[in-house]
């Protein structure tokens, strides 16, 4: 079937505005992950969902960041009161949540905060 999809592909927003990023995982994948990739940095884990629950939110950088997942499928990452340091590519991945543990990534959303 189709791979992981993300929308929008690009988002430019003004400092202080809220943004929502969407992820549609691969059908049948119960686990969903959000990562952030900044210029010159490695991928940084943000949050992990198993079904609709988020057992690991340890990577969220501040309380301005939140995420939810509904119906065990689509997930939304929300950033409130965006700051310039939030500019990055936000990547979503999904997996079966068990062996073989491989995570499959979407194309990402490039967020630019001006």
Partner 1 sequence: EDQVTQSPEALRLQEGESSSLNCSYTVSGLRGLFWYRQDPGKGPEFLFTLYSAGEEKEKERLKATLTKKESFLHITAPKPEDSATYLCAALNFGNEKLTFGTGTRLTIIP
The DSSP bridge partners found for residue 25 are none
Instruction: Provide, rounded to whole angstroms, the least separation between the CB of residue 81 and partner 1.
Output: 25
| Closer residue to partner 1, CB minimum distance, 1 or 42 | 42
Interface stretch with partner 1, choices 11-19, 61-69, 70-78, 96-104 (CB under 8 A)? 96-104
Question: Residue 28 — φ and ψ, nearest 5°?
Answer: 95, -15
Query: Which residues contact partner 1 by CB under 8 A?
Result: 4, 31, 33, 35, 40-45, 48, 50, 55-56, 58-59, 91, 93, 97, 100-108
């Amino acid at each position: 079937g189709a791979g992981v999809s993300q929308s929008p592909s690009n988002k430019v927003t003004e400092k202080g505005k809220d943004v929502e990023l969407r992820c549609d995982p691969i059908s049948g994948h119960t686990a969903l992950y959000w990562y952030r990739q900044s210029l010159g940095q490695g991928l940084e884990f943000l949050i992990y969902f198993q079904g609709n629950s988020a057992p690991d939110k340890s990577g969220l950088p501040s309380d301005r960041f939140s995420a939810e997942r509904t119906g065990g499928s689509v997930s939304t990452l929300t950033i409130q009161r965006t700051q310039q340091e939030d500019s990055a590519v936000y990547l979503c991945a999904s997996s079966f949540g068990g062996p073989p543990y491989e995570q499959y990534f979407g194309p990402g959303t490039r967020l630019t905060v001006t």
